[in-house]
């Protein structure tokens, strides 16, 4: 190797040594070398910069000639002007904090400025409230987070959360709530430091135990369907316009009332009946019954009678029926009404009805057995005489006072008068001999002040030994049955003042609050309507009596009389349960 080459190698080695001596402090960050330098920086502690970025000015003094500054990351830019160094830090779009250095050198000495920038706070734009039904399930909600650097936790074990931070998605899972109280929990979203940056309230409904029907009268069938579907009810029956014109029935998930039937009249909800599970009347009695009543009171229903409650805000009346074959609670909505005239007590009169049972014998013959005695024509006479009602005897078209009656008048008078039946005293009686026949009333009519009462009487029978014929007659001594009389089967009465029963609103008839209370006091509960809602049927399950009343056409003469109400009482052994 020649002398020139050796000199060049020595020069390169010296240069490398000098460069190493200049930059070695920057690599090792040895503070003692900075203190030996002849220049100083106005900032000696780490420079803290907000996530949004900023400009920081640093003065450089006592330099040995010129000086330079080099940022180690591109998110910091530097400019120098005289003895002033300006650091421009750009915004941090990440949630993670970051750190870098700016190296200042002069006269072979390097000093380091540490720059620390905080991470961008997490920003969430998502819902803050989530609802679950009693059966729980899965729901997703999406978050618009400024960064995927977040975690999520749930405050209770019944609430499970699974985050997908990259997609900004949280999956929530809840189990069935088997308690009778609602429950709530909280989902918290935290940043990397553990700070809560977003929270979501999760609410789950209690088990459907005691419940109310749809809360607003006048709703459509579709609105009610959506309401019931929301609480997991299943539609069982709806109007077919052949037999069922107005009833919508649902199976519910309640262990107490598993069946609810809505009555929707002309497209508007007017009443609903809740039936106890398995027709169990005990669910409405004792401690359970007290819970039901407490539930009604909590929802604004005030006691009118032991079995009658009323909510004045919604004009909804509740009947609690425990004696029915189908124990139930019926909610009926009524429009506003002014005070109406009323009776002192329910005008039902005689209610002892004859009840018979037909028995088919092996030979095909049908026997009629009386299982309950009813009022006879004699007891009816006595009762109405005490009340001042006048008996109207059977119409005789041949009587002198009726001789000039035209056919229409005869029909009207016949309808408004009593009627008799003629029955044989014994088997084989001769029609020509009046001693062999007896007469009984099968229809009795009374009148007072232009109002009418009518009683339908049915035949009752007795066994007898036929000793009415000659001993040589083949029927002599044989056992037979004959009509022994008649007893009350139906009772009717007309009333002049319809406002004692009903009032009209928007073209529809409604039973007055006053009359409904009288019905409840006597144990009658709403059953159904008839004749296009011009008539109403109530039922007493203990006495097994059906009470029906109608506004308009009378049963006596067929005329449409808007100023007349006809009320009818009949025995009904079968409880149809709000048909």
Q: What is the pLDDT of residues 16-39, one digit of tens each?
A: 443 344 343 433 344 333 444 568
pLDDT (average), residues 206-235: 95
Query: Quick one: pLDDT at residue 146?
Result: 66
| Stronger pLDDT, 137 or 363, i.e. the higher one | 137
- Three-class DSSP category at 516: helix
CA–CA separation, 72 and 160 (whole Å): 45
Q: How sure is the predictor about 7, in pLDDT bands with cuts at 50, 70 and 90?
A: very low
* Backbone phi, psi, residue 147, to 5°: -160, 150
Q: Would you give the DSSP letter of residue 557?
A: T
171: Cα separation from own chain's centroid: 29
* Backbone phi, psi, residue 436, to 5°: -90, 5
Based on its alpha-carbon atoms, the radius of gyration of the chain, rounded to whole angstroms, reads 48
Query: Quick one: pLDDT at residue 559?
Result: 55
pLDDT (average), residues 314-326: 89
Q: Which residue is associated with the tokens 């904090």?
A: 97
Structural tokens at position 5: 């080459």
Contact 221, 233 (CB under 8 A): no
Same fold: 28-117 with 129-204? yes
The candidate with the shortest Cα–Cα distance to 401, out of 390, 417, 385, is 417
Report the DSSP beta bridge partners of residue 331: 272, 318
Query: Quick one: pLDDT at residue 27?
Result: 39
* Backbone phi, psi, residue 221, to 5°: -65, -35
The candidate with the shortest Cα–Cα distance to 62, out of 109, 114, 113, 115, is 109
Structural tokens at position 31: 């503070």
Which is the CATH superfamily of the domain at 28-117?
Immunoglobulins (2.60.40.10)
H-assigned helices in 39-112: none
Query: Quick one: pLDDT at residue 95?
Result: 74
Query: Quick one: pLDDT at residue 64?
Result: 65
Contact 500, 515 (CB under 8 A): yes
Mean pLDDT of the chain: 86
pLDDT digits (tens, 9 = 90+) for 46-62: 999 999 999 999 999 87
pLDDT (average), residues 170-183: 93
pLDDT digits (tens, 9 = 90+) for 511-549: 999 999 999 999 998 888 888 778 999 999 889 999 999
Helices (H) and strands (E) in the chain, counts: 7, 36
Q: Which residues contact 544 (CB under 8 A, 6 or more apart)?
A: 571, 572, 573, 575
Query: Quick one: pLDDT at residue 336?
Result: 87
Task: Compute CA distances 419 → 28, 194, 392, 445, whole Å.
Answer: 129, 95, 10, 9
CA–CA separation, 150 and 131 (whole Å): 24
Q: Show the CA angle centred on residue 90, arms to residues 84 and 94, nearest 5°.
A: 145
Query: Quick one: pLDDT at residue 576?
Result: 52
CA–CA separation, 115 and 102 (whole Å): 8
pLDDT digits (tens, 9 = 90+) for 80-99: 988 899 999 999 888 788 99
User: Would you say the C-alpha torsion 241, 243, 248, 252 has a positive or negative sign?
Assistant: negative
Is the domain spanning 129-204 CATH 3.40.50.720? The answer is no
pLDDT at 100 over 70: yes
Q: Which residue is associated with the tokens 């009683």?
A: 455
pLDDT at 297 over 80: yes
pLDDT digits (tens, 9 = 90+) for 408-426: 889 888 888 999 999 999 8
Query: Quick one: pLDDT at residue 32?
Result: 38
Contact 565, 495 (CB under 8 A): yes
User: Would you say the C-alpha torsion 225, 228, 231, 234 has a positive or negative sign?
Assistant: negative
CA–CA separation, 172 and 177 (whole Å): 15
Domain ranges of the chain: 28-117, 129-204, 240-333, 340-579
């Amino acid at each position: 190797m020649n002398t020139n080459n050796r000199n060049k190698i020595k020069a390169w080695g010296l240069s490398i040594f000098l460069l190493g001596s200049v930059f070695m402090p920057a690599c090792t960050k040895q503070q003692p070398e900075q203190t030996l330098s002849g220049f100083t920086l106005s900032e000696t502690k780490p420079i803290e910069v907000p996530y949004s970025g900023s400009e920081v000015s640093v003065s450089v003094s006592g330099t040995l000639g010129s000086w330079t500054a080099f940022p180690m990351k591109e998110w910091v830019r530097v400019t120098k002007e005289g003895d002033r160094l300006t650091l421009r830090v750009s915004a941090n779009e990440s949630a993670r904090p970051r750190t870098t250095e700016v190296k200042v050198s002069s006269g072979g000495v390097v000093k380091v400025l540490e720059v620390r920038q905080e991470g961008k706070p997490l920003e969430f734009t998502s819902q803050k409230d989530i609802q679950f039904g009693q059966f729980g399930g899965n729901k997703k909600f999406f978050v618009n987070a400024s960064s995927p650097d977040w975690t999520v936790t749930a405050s209770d074990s019944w609430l499970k959360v699974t985050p997908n931070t990259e997609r900004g998605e949280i999956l929530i899972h809840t189990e069935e709530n088997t308690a009778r109280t609602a429950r709530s929990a909280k989902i918290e979203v935290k940043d990397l430091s553990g700070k809560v940056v977003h929270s979501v309230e999760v609410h789950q409904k209690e088990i459907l135990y005691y419940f109310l029907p749809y809360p607003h009268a006048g709703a459509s069938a579709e609105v009610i369907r959506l309401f019931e579907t929301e609480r997991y009810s299943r539609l069982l029956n709806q109007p077919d316009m052949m037999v069922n014109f107005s009833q919508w029935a649902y199976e519910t998930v309640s262990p107490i009332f598993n069946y609810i039937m809505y009555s929707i009249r002309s497209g508007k909800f007017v009443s609903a009946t809740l039936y106890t599970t398995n027709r169990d009347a005990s669910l409405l009695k004792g401690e359970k019954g007290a819970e039901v009543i407490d539930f009604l009171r909590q929802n604004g229903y005030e006691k009118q009678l032991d079995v009658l409650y009323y909510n004045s805000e919604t004009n909804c009346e509740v009947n609690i029926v425990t004696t029915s074959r189908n124990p139930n609670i019926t909610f009926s909505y009524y429009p506003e009404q002014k005070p109406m005239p009323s009776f002192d007590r329910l005008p039902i009169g005689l209610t002892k009805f004859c009840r018979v049972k037909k028995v088919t014998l092996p030979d095909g013959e049908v026997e009629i057995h009386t299982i309950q005695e009813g009022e006879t024509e004699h007891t009816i006479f006595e009762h109405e005489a005490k009340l001042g009602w006048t008996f109207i005897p059977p119409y005789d078209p041949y009587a002198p006072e009726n001789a000039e009656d035209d056919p229409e008048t005869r029909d009207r008078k016949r309808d408004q008068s009593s009627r008799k039946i003629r029955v044989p005293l014994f088997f084989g009686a001769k029609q020509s001999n009046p001693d062999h026949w007896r007469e009984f009333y099968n229809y009795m009519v009374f009148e007072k002040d232009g109002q009418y009462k009518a009683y339908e009487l049915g035949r009752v029978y007795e066994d007898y030994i036929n000793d009415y014929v000659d001993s040589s007659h083949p029927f002599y001594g044989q056992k037979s049955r004959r009509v022994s009389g008649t007893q009350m089967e139906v009772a009717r009465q007309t009333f002049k003042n319809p406002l004692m029963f009903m009032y009209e609103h928007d073209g529809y008839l409604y039973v007055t609050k006053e009359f409904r209370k009288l019905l409840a006091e006597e144990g009658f509960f709403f059953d159904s309507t008839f004749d296009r809602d011009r008539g109403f049927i109530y039922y007493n399950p203990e006495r097994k009596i059906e009470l029906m009343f109608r506004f308009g056409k009378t049963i006596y003469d067929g005329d449409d009389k808007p100023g007349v109400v006809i009320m009818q009482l009949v025995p009904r052994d079968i409880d149809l349960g709000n048909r």
